[in-house]
Amino acid sequence: MRKSFSHKVAIALLSITLLSSCKELFNEPNIQSNPNAVTDVDVATLLSGTLLGVAMLHEDTDVRIGAIWAGQLNGLARQHQGYADYIVSSQNFTWSPLYPAASQTRLIQTKADAVGDKWTKGVGQVLEALLIAKATDFYGDIPYSQAFDDVKYPTPVFDKQADVYASLQTTLDNAIQNLSAPSGLAFASQDFIYKGDVSKWKAAANTLKARLYLHTGDYAKAATSAASGISSTAGDALIPHGTSQGVDFNQNYDFFRVNRAGDTGFDGAYLPTLMQSRIGSTNTKTNETALYNHYFKIGITATGSLDPNTTDGAFTASSPHPIITYYENQLIIAEAQARLGDTAKSLAALNLVRASLATGYYNGKTLSTTGLKYDPYVIADFAPTGLANPTKVASAQTALLYEVITQRYIYFLMQYEAFNDVRRLEKATPVVQLPIPLYTGTKKPERFIYPQGEVNTNPNVPKPLPDQFQKVPIFQ
C-alpha cells in the first residue's frame, strides 16, 4: 500500500533540516507532477527542504559540465571524458530536480501568502530566481510562465530567454519588496544559509539582479543593483558541509574523491596554466601560489596527476560551497564600471576583492599565507608598460577589464557563472576574452541540449532541436 504522500514529504523535509542526504528529495512523483498537492507541510519545513534542493543544484553534475566547457576542469574518464570531447545528446541532461525544486519555491510563496508572511515569501522568490536563472542560462528558451501548473498547462510553452530574464528581474524586485517588510515570521532554524537574516537575503537578491543585468549587458543597472548587494564576506551565501558520508559531504569531494576519483582533473585544463602565469611573473603585486595550492594538489589519484585538492584545500568534505558572494558582487561592479568607462570605480571594486583575498579569506576558509599576495593596484599598473598589463594593450580600460575577467574566471571555479562568462564575453563590448583553448575540434559548446524527457512529452520544445554548439539567444 502506498504511504500518505504528505507523510513521506514531511519526513523527507524534516530530515533535510539536519542536512541529511538530498539526492532523492525530489523524486517523489507527486512533487514532480503537481507540487500544489502538498497541503499539510508547514512553510518553514518546506523552506528547509527547498533550500537543500537549491544547494544541491549548485554542486551538481551540470555545474561540473559547465566547468569543463569553460576550460577550468578536464574530463578524463568515462562519461566526463565525453563531456570534454563535447560529445553529448539530449540523454545527457535532465530537468530533475531543477524544475521540481523550482516548483517547491512557488509553493513556499503560496503558503507564505496564506499566513501573511512576506519574509518567507521573499526568500522563496529569491530561490525561484536562482533556479530559473540556472535553467535559462544553460538552455536558453525554457518553460517559465506556464511551468508550475501542470493541470492547466500539461505541456508548457517555452518562453523566450529575454522574457525569462525580464520576469526574473520582476520576481527579484518583488522579493526585495517583501524582504523590506517591517515584520514577518521567523525562520532562522530552517535557514542554514543566512540563519533567518532577512537583510542578507535582500542583499543577495540585489547581487543576483546585478548578475542578470551583467548577462544582458545593462551595465548601469548591474552597477546600481550591486551597490545594494552583498557588502562584505559576512554576507556570502555559502552551503555548509560536514564530514559524514552520505549526510553532509561537499558534493565536489564526494565526486572527486569518493565516487568518481580520476574521472575529472586539471591536467590539460586552462585554469592552472593561467594561474601559473600569475606566479613569479612581472606582476609583482600578485602571487596566486596560495590559491593555486588551495585548488590543486599533485598525485592524489595517480602519480603526477594534477587533482582537485580534496586533502586540505577547496574541495575537502567540509568545505563550504558558494551560491552567491561578496567577491562576485564586487567583481560585477568592477566589470560594469570598467565597461561604462569609470576606471576609478572599477579599480576600487577590484581592490576590495584583492584586499579580502590578501587576508586569506576564500568562501569561508582561510588560505595559507605562503605565496599569498594581492597588493592594491593603481591605474598606472594598467598602462601599456604597466605590471598588470601582460598583453601590453594601449587602453588602460581594456587592460583593467582583462584583469577583472581573469579574477572572475579564477574565482568562479566550480561555479557555473564561469561558463556564463565564457559565453557572454563573446559579445560584450569592448571585447575582452581569455585565450581558453578547446579540448577538441573547432567549435566550443554554447549550451545544454533539451532533456530527452521533455523532448518526448512536450510538443512545444523548440524545433529543430538546438545542439550544444548553438548559442543561447541572450549571448548571441
Q: What is the pLDDT of residues 342-400, one digit of tens each?
A: 999 999 999 999 999 999 999 999 999 999 999 999 999 999 999 999 989 999 999 99
* Residues 215 and 420: beta-carbon distance below 8 Å: yes
Give the pLDDT confidence score for residue 429 in this predicted structure.
92
Sequence-distant (≥ 6) Cβ neighbours of residue 37 within 8 angstroms: 5, 30
Residue with the larger pLDDT of the pair 29 and 382? 382
**Residue 79, amino acid:** Q
Give the pLDDT confidence score for residue 32 in this predicted structure.
37
- Number of other CB atoms surrounding residue 317 within 10 Å: 18
**Residue 200, amino acid:** K
The full length of the chain comes to 476
Task: Name the region of 45 (left: φ>0; alpha: ψ -120 to 50; beta: rest).
Answer: alpha
Give the pLDDT confidence score for residue 41 in this predicted structure.
81
Query: How far apart, in whole angstroms, are the C-alpha atoms of residue 72 and residue 434?
Result: 12
Give the pLDDT confidence score for residue 119 in this predicted structure.
97
Give the global pTM: 0.92
Query: How far apart, in whole angstroms, are the C-alpha atoms of residue 180 and residue 174?
Result: 10
Query: How far apart, in whole angstroms, are the C-alpha atoms of residue 453 and residue 94?
Result: 7
Cell of 121: 515569501
**458 pLDDT more than 80:** yes
Give the CA radius of gyration of the chain: 22
* DSSP assignment letter at 255: I
Block residue for cell numbers 566526463: 80
DSSP string of 51-96, one letter each residue? HHHHHHTTSSHHHHHHHHHTTSSEE-SHHHHHHHTT---GGG---T
Geometric angle at alpha carbon 54, from 405 and 67, rounded to 5°: 35
Give the pLDDT confidence score for residue 11 in this predicted structure.
30
Residue with the larger pLDDT of the pair 378 and 4? 378
The values of phi and psi at residue 370, to 5°, are -75, 120
Cell of 217: 549587458
**74 pLDDT more than 50:** yes
Beta bridge partners of 361: 366
Cell of 326: 561578496
* Residues 51 and 79: beta-carbon distance below 8 Å: no
Query: How far apart, in whole angstroms, are the C-alpha atoms of residue 448 and residue 372?
Result: 37
**42 pLDDT more than 90:** no
Instruction: Name the maximum alpha-carbon separation found in the chain.
Output: 76
- Compute the mean pLDDT over every residue in the chain, rounded to the nearest whole number: 92
User: What are the extents of the domains in the chain?
Assistant: 1-57+97-218+446-476, 245-252+264-437
* Residues 13 and 26: beta-carbon distance below 8 Å: no
DSSP string of 92-142, one letter each residue? G---TTHHHHHHHHHHHHHHHHHTT-HHHHHHHHHHHHHHHHHHHHHHSSB
SS3 string, 346-369, reads HHHHHHHHHHHHHCCEECCEECCC
Q: Options 3.40.50.300, 1.20.1250.20, 1.25.40.390, 2.60.40.10; which CATH number does 1-57+97-218+446-476 get?
A: 1.25.40.390
**7 pLDDT more than 90:** no
In tens, the pLDDT along 285-319 reads 999 999 999 999 999 999 999 999 999 999 999 99
Question: How many Cα atoms occupy the beta-carbon half-sphere of 440 within 13 Å?
Answer: 11
What is the percent of the chain where pLDDT is above 70?
A: 92
Taking residues 279-283, report their average pLDDT: 94
- Number of other CB atoms surrounding residue 303 within 10 Å: 6
Query: How far apart, in whole angstroms, are the C-alpha atoms of residue 299 and residue 132?
Result: 38
Block residue for cell numbers 566547457: 69
Cell of 472: 543561447
Q: How far apart are the first and last CA of the chain?
A: 52
In tens, the pLDDT along 167-207 reads 999 999 999 999 999 999 999 999 999 999 999 999 999 99
* Residues 123 and 187: beta-carbon distance below 8 Å: yes
Give the pLDDT confidence score for residue 36 in this predicted structure.
40
Positive or negative: CA dihedral 139, 141, 145, 150: negative
CA distances 89 to 82, 349, 447, 453, Å, are: 10, 41, 12, 12
CA distances 227 to 42, 123, 330, 337, 345, Å, are: 35, 20, 9, 11, 11
In tens, the pLDDT along 100-131 reads 999 999 999 999 999 999 999 999 999 999 99
Query: How far apart, in whole angstroms, are the C-alpha atoms of residue 76 and residue 58?
Result: 22
Q: Band of the pLDDT at 246, cuts 50, 70, 90?
A: confident
